[in-house]
Amino acid sequence: MSSYRIQGVTGEWEVVIGLEVHAQVTSNAKLFSGASTEFGAEPNAQVSLVDAAMPGMLPVPNRECIRQAVRTGMAIEAQINKWSRFDRKNYFYADLPQGYQISQLYHPLVGEGSLLIEADEKAGIPADKRIGIERIHVEQDAGKLMHDQHPTMSYVDLNRSGVALMEIVSKPDMRSPAEAGAYVRKLRSILRYVGSCDGNMEQGSMRADVNVSVRKPGDEFGTRTETKNVNSVRFVMAVIEQEARRQVDLIEDGGKVVQETRLYDPDRNETRSMRSKEDAHDYRYFPDPDLLPLDLDDDFLVECRESLPELPDAKKRRYVEELGLSEYNATQLTAEVEGFRRFEDVLSATASALGKGDKDVATQVANWTLSVAPGVLNALGDEAKVENNTAAASAAILKMQDAGEISGGQAKEIYEIVLKTGREPTEIAETEGLKQLSDTGAIESVIDEVLANNADKVEEYRGGKDKLFGFFVGQTMKALQGKGNPAVVNQILKDKLG
Amino acid sequence: MTDLTDLGVKAIRDGVAAGTFSAREVAEAFNANVAAAQDALNAFIVATPEKALEAAEAVDAARAKGETLGKMAGVPIGMKDLFATQGVQTTAASHILEGFIPQYESTVSANLWKAGAGMLGKLNLDQFAMGSSNETSYFGNVISPWRKQGSNAGLAPGGSSGGSSAAVAARLCPAATGTDTGGSIRQPAAFTGITGIKPTYGRCSRWGIVAFASSLDQAGPMARDVTDCAIMLEAMAGFDPKDSTSLNLTVPEWTDGLDADMSGHRVGIPKEYRMEGTDPDILESWDNGIAWLRDAGAEIVEVSLPHTKYALPAYYIVAPAEASSNLARYDGVRYGLRDLPEGANLQEMYAATRAAGFGDEVKRRIMIGTYVLSAGFYDAYYNQAQRVRTLISQDFKAAFEHCDVILAPTTPTASFPLGDKSDDPLAMYLNDVFAVPASLAGLPAMSVPAGLNKDGLPLGLQLIGKAFDEQGVLNAGLAIEQRAGFTARPEKWW
């Protein structure tokens, strides 16, 4: 149970949150027309006759969009409805050429499912929690109005008109901004694993309508408000905080929450009313007579399921159970697509370079990809060239480190040069002298010299002053210009000092 | 020499192919008739004589080179102005689309041009195909070439394909396209003594046809006789991936399959169509039809379509509901009429544009449709009407267990004088009482001329077939055609 509470003058309040996430389906073409969906084209460059709702134009469902929505449904372990149907949602607006949006009200493609958000003590999520998902339906996006191009007129850009969206509707299962944030992050991660949405919130590929109500713990649900088109995880959390606070204050001042649509203003960090239920549209939903119901056959569903990749929860479990990674590392590595891809690339390259099993090198690779490599990359900033950051290079470095040829510090230095120049790690180690000295003979002679020059200290050490061991190591390493293999140095010193 | 404009589709096509006359001569003859009749009949919104000539010349050139000619090669036709024609104004007879020139060609018209047909012009119709008399056109009503004996009063050519029916009856074109949502091919065909078939829903692509009611709209040919209809329907029909409701079936060779021998076939006579107050002339022609089909070898059986009386009310819920949504796109934003009063905002622009752009009947149906889809009324009207629609379909299915094709009147009366019903929408809607059930069930149905009433006006008989059985409908139509001996034509007064 979330312990998130809003302190009011009448006591503690609990917030109840449901999210409707609109995710743009990754597809080259729109939901019902062949027009392109690429982001950033000139206004109205990607508009077909269907998107512009010319007379006599008809929608034809894009199979790939349906496929992606079905795969998404499978990824949240949802009921897939083999029979579904498109409905028209009728309203007039300049960004809606047909005068209706083709959506699915009565018979959505995907029914109930759920996703898991993980315990995060620091964020106030004490235990793993499953958040219910009511449905996923497929619908068309609208175009965009531009109000700043002309003093008295608005311009219309229809590039987005007809682009396929999945509307993923959660149950009112979340009880804190942190849970909502975790839900959106997890959903985004799943969508990106599946490849059904790029999850790019800045470009509007993913946005959320945030439903918020408050109640005294244990009471019935209160009246909810819906804040539309919130386009970042941070804003989703801010909306919940602001809206819950506003509702509590309102109720405690003797007012009533009205069911309404609100907008979030990030600059002022507040929500404000857009329209109330009274002047809400009557959308006159009815089945779209231009389209036949979707009737999915078994082959199609089998292909959808078989094409699903390993998903975050399963991957994490495997990392822990089969690769022996810590829970923490496994969570970190599987949170984002980029993370696990990088890890798995370096893992297989390293394992084969070392001729070892994945499990034998997994922890080493995890540490490398989670902390060492990002540290170097971040420090370099723009100097690092992405194309130089190959799995093979990382594997070569890890191999040298594993063999004791280079130290951890040298590994970072070599990696830095690799990122800047693309040179071979082994060549860098040779040429730049970034190698540990492991030759016992050479180290022995240096140690002999150090011990001879510090006979008094040797006496003291042998007399019981153990702390002096570090001094001998330091002197030896200094003499070896830092390139001595610490393990070898330590071993020989121990032997010689007796 | 024969007047080329007396010839139908088959005669023209075969004559052109045989070199009896050139396609150009045919086009010129019809172009002349179109021009001469325009002021009197108002059948065309736009004449395109150059298009007709261009297509004819292409056919003549192809023939000269010995190329294989299409099914409609050398046949100039009229195109109902509901079909989008690339580069030629397409209005649906509405002010709101006046001046709209599509950048695309409807699938059906493209199929016809591919088959060698040429376009004489865009035919007048009831605005957005909503009407039964052609009086709702923004471009003035079409006047039927027929007149009552002893009267000069203008008569309705039927609707909505009234330009098509008038033009074919008056020999302005040998054939024309029509569309039928609730009788818009059959009723005007019956009123003007011509033949018209609405095929099974989905046979002809709806892509590029200005939508009225998507689940009912279906294109079909209107021509002098059954054979011409069969030829033209073959050219029009076919699967179109751009229309999700298009039938993915090969188009049968209906013309080759024509056979008027009805022996071994059962013809159903629906008892519920024998309604009180039906014109005795209509009942008499129906009895004639029964006798002709029996003569052709058919067994006549009585069948029951018990939900017939609910068809018209259900139709006038479903069709306006779909229309109210289909016509939302005419908003003044992207094309067509825009009425932007000084200082108006978006909502005011919508209101002004649609008030100025749509005619009364269109507005009436948009309002009915909006009402029946509204929250609180949806179940009582739209859902109920859909249930009725299912029952109507089941009625037909049950009836077709006992018969192969159904014979009924096309209309309850012959053509009526213009203005007679224009103030009484319900009386106007009743025109389609026999036509609407087949539309709701998506079945193929055709009207063939059956004779004249006592005023000398044509009457039609309707044949309704099983889904996909256009052949059965055409064959029964042919059996009637051969026995009715209908040769009457309007006396030329224009």
Does a structural domain hold residue A176? Answer: yes
| Average pLDDT score, chain B | 97
Lowest pLDDT segment from A54-63, B32-41, B46-55, B273-282: B273-282
Q: Are B270 and B311 spatial neighbours (Cβ–Cβ below 8 Å)?
A: no
**Residue pLDDT, tens place only, B283-342:** 999 999 999 999 999 999 999 999 999 999 999 999 999 999 999 999 999 999 999 999
At A488 the pLDDT is: 82
**Packing angle of the helix pair A468-479, A455-462 (nearest 10 deg):** 150
A286 vs B378: CB contact, 8 Å cut-off? Answer: yes
Q: Which residue from B244, B324, B334 is facing A291, i.e. has the nearest CB?
A: B244
Q: Are A160 and A142 in contact (CB under 8 A)?
A: yes
Rounded Cα distance, A123 and A176, in Å: 10
| Residue among A61, A93, A284 minimizing CB distance to B373 | A284
Distance of alpha carbon B288 from alpha carbon B299, whole angstroms: 15
Is B325–A99 a contact, with Cβ atoms under 8 angstroms apart?
Answer: yes
Name the minimum distance, in Å, from the CA of A136 to any CA of chain B.
23
pLDDT tens digit sequence for A443-452? 888 888 888 8
Domain B1-494 coded CATH 3.90.1300.10: yes
Size of interface A-B (CB pairs under 8 A): 100
Closest CB from A58, A61, A98 relative to B329? A98
Distance CA B418, CA B428 (A): 11
Task: Confirm whether A213 is domain-assigned.
Answer: yes
User: What is the structure's pLDDT at B414?
Assistant: 95
SS3 breakdown of chain B: % helix, strand, coil, rounded to 5? 40, 15, 45
Distance, in angstroms, between B242 CA and closest chain A CA? 6
Length of chain A equals 498
Tens of pLDDT, residues A313-330? 999 999 999 999 999 999
> Strand (E) positions, B202-272?
218-223, 266-270
Please count the residues of chain B.
494
Nearest to B167 by CA among B97, B96, B119, B95: B119
Q: Given an 8 Å threshold on Cβ–Cβ distance, is B104 in contact with A54? A: yes
Answer whether B226's CB lies under 8 Å from B476's CB: no
Mean of pLDDT over chain A: 93
**Cβ-count burial of B196 within 10 angstroms (0-12 exposed, 13-18 middle, 19+ buried)?**
buried
**Type of residue at A19:** L
CA separation for the pair A82, B475 (Å, rounded):
41
Q: Where are the alpha helices (DSSP H) in B327-400?
A: 346-357, 360-373, 384-399
Distance CA B76, CA B114 (A): 13
- In whole angstroms, what is the distance from residue A476 CA to residue A484 CA? 8
From the list B83, B106, B329, which residue is nearest A53 (CB)? B329
Catalytic annotation, pick one of B10, B80, B421, B466: B80
Mind telling me how many Å the CA of A16 is from chain B's nearest CA? 28
The residue that leads in pLDDT, A484 or B299, is: B299
Residue A127 near chain B (CB below 8 Å): no
Provide, rounded to the nearest whole percent, the portion of chain A with pLDDT above 90: 77
Partner B contacted by A53 (CB < 8 A): yes
Chain A stretch 283-302, residues whose beta carbon is closer than 8 A to a beta carbon of chain B: 284-286, 289-292
H or E stretch covering A376: helix A373-380
Residue A2, pLDDT score: 73
Taking residue B469's Cβ as centre, other Cβ atoms within 10 Å add up to 18
**List of E strands, A126-177:** 129-140, 144-146, 155-157, 164-170
Distance from the Cα of A140 to chain B's closest Cα (Å) equals 16
B244 and A290 in contact by Cβ < 8 A? yes
Chain B hits for A279, CB-CB cut-off 8 Å, are none
Task: Kindly state whether residues A204 and A349 are assigned to the same domain.
Answer: no
**Can you give the CATH number for the domain in which A478 is found?**
1.10.10.410
Q: Are the Cβ atoms of B333 and A156 closer than 8 angstroms?
A: yes
CB < 8 Å to A53, chain B: 329, 334
Q: Compute CA distances A199 → A25, A187, A231, A334, B175, whole Å.
A: 9, 9, 11, 16, 56
Residue span of the structural domain in which A453 resides: 440-497
Any bridge partners for residue A484, and if so which?
A: A437
**Contact criterion met (CB < 8 Å) for B90 and A286:** no
- Chain B residues with beta carbon closer than 8 angstroms to that of A97: 329, 333-334
- CB-CB under 8 Å, A97 with B208: no
The total number of structural domains in chain A stands at 3
Report the pLDDT value the prediction gives residue A323, as an integer from 0 to 100: 97
Strand B175-180 and strand B218-223: the pairing is antiparallel
Within this chain, do residues A13 and A104 fall inside the same structural domain, yes or no?
Answer: yes
Rounded Cα distance, B445 and B470, in Å: 8
**Domain limits of chain B?**
1-494
A154 interaction partners in chain B (CB closer than 8 Å): 346
Closest by CA to A58, choosing from A162, A201, A130, is: A162
Query: A374 and A254: one domain?
Result: no
Classify burial at B322, counting beta carbons within 10 Å of its beta carbon; exposed 0-12, middle 13-18, buried 19 or more. buried
- In this structure, are A92 and A71 located in the same domain? yes
Q: Residues A274, A178: one domain?
A: yes
Render pLDDT for A184-212 as a digit per residue (tens, 0 to 9).
999 999 999 999 999 999 888 999 999 99
What is the token pair recorded at A339?
């993370």
From the number of C-beta atoms within 10 Å of its C-beta (0-12, 13-18, 19+), residue A425 rates as buried
- Among A235, A232, A228, which residue's Cα sits nearest to residue A261? A228
pLDDT in tens, B39-96: 999 999 999 999 999 999 999 999 999 999 999 999 999 999 999 999 999 999 999 9
Q: Is the same domain home to A166 and A69?
A: yes
Question: Is there a contact between B325 and A55 if contact means CB atoms under 8 Å apart?
Answer: no
Residue pair A400/A411 in contact by the 8 Å Cβ criterion? yes
Residues A216-228, buried b or exposed e (16+ Cβ, 10 A)?
eeeeeebebbbbb
| pTM of the entire predicted model | 0.91
Report how far residue B291's alpha carbon sits from residue B300's, in angstroms, rounded to the nearest whole number.
Answer: 9
Do A61 and B244 lie within an 8 Å CB cutoff? Answer: yes
Q: Cα–Cα distance between B111 and B77 in angstroms, integer? A: 13
Band of residue A278 on the pLDDT scale cut at 50, 70, 90: low
- Asked whether the beta carbons of residue A289 and residue B215 sit closer than 8 angstroms, the reply is yes
Chain B residues near residue A289 by CB distance under 8 angstroms: 213-215, 322
CB nearest to A59's CB, from B244, B347, B374: B244
* Site from B177, B240, B329 to mutate, A interface, most A CB atoms within 10 angstroms: B329
pLDDT at A481: 79
Report yes or no on A297 lying in a domain: yes
* For B326, nearest residue in chain A (alpha carbons): A98
Q: How far is CA A497 from CA A449, A452, A481, A493, in A?
A: 13, 12, 22, 6
pLDDT of residue A234 exceeding 90, the answer is yes
B276, pLDDT greater than 80: no
A270-279, A317-326, A461-470, B119-128: segment of lowest average pLDDT: A270-279
Question: For chain B, what percent of residues have pLDDT higher than 70?
Answer: 100
**A141 and A180, same structural domain?**
yes
Q: Does the beta-carbon distance from A286 to B373 stay under 8 Å?
A: yes
Determine the pLDDT at residue A279.
66
Taking 80 as the threshold, does the pLDDT of residue B1 lie above it?
no
Q: Which residue of A has its CA nearest to B215?
A: A289
| Same-domain status, A176 and A222 | yes
Most confident of A76-90, A148-162, A278-292: A76-90
A366 inside domain: yes
Residue B91 identity: T
Structure tokens at A14: 């609990």
Do residue A62 and residue A173 come from a single domain? yes
**CB A138: neighbour CB atoms within 10 A?**
27
- A48 Cα to chain B: minimum distance (Å): 11
Q: What does the DSSP 8-state code read for residue A85?
A: -
Q: Which residues of A touch B108 (CB under 8 A)?
A: none
State the nearest Cα–Cα gap between A96 and chain B, in angstroms.
Answer: 9
Question: Of B97, B215, B328, which has the smallest distance from its Cβ to A100's Cβ?
Answer: B328
Res A441: pLDDT = 80
Q: At what angle do helices A63-75 and A177-194 cross, to 10 degrees?
A: 130
Cβ contact, residue pair A58, B243, below 8 Å: yes
Cβ pair B244:A56 closer than 8 A: no
Residues of B in contact with A62 (CB under 8 A): none
For the residues A152-168, what does the mean pLDDT come to? 94
In this complex, which of A58, A154, A282 lies closest to B206 when CB atoms are compared? A58
A345 reaches B (C-beta below 8 A)? no
Instruction: Give residue B88's pLDDT.
Output: 98
Task: Say if A102 falls within a structural domain.
Answer: yes
Asked whether the beta carbons of residue A92 and residue B347 sit closer than 8 angstroms, the reply is yes
SS3 call for A461 = helix
Cis-peptide, bond into residue B160, ω within 30° of zero? yes
Chain B contact for A280, CB < 8 A? no
Tokens 């261009």, located at residue: B54
- B184 assigned to active site: yes
Active site residue B80: yes
Measured distance CA(A107)–CA(B474) in Å, rounded: 40
**One of B132, B144, B160, B164 is an active-site residue; which one?**
B160
Q: Of B173, B142, B168, which is closest to residue B51 (Cα–Cα)?
A: B173
Active site residue B160: yes
Taking only residues 33 to 52 of chain A, the set having a beta carbon closer than 8 angstroms to any beta carbon of chain B reads 49, 52
A26 and A128 inside one domain: yes
**Please, which residues bridge with residue B198 across strands?**
B445
Among chain B residues, the shortest Cα distance to A154 is held by: B346
Closest-CA distance, B486 to chain A, in angstroms, reads 37
- Picking from B90, B211, B333, the nearest residue to A94 by CB comes out as B333
Whether the CB of A54 is below 8 Å from some CB of chain B: the reply is: yes
Q: Name residues 149-188 of chain A within 8 A of B (Cβ).
A: 154, 156
DSSP conformation letters of A200-254: -TTTTSEEEEEEEEEE-TTSPP---EEEEEE-SHHHHHHHHHHHHHHHHHHHHTT
Predicted pLDDT of residue B405: 98
One of B94, B133, B184, B447 is an active-site residue; which one? B184
For residues B183 and B432, is the Cβ–Cβ distance under 8 A? yes
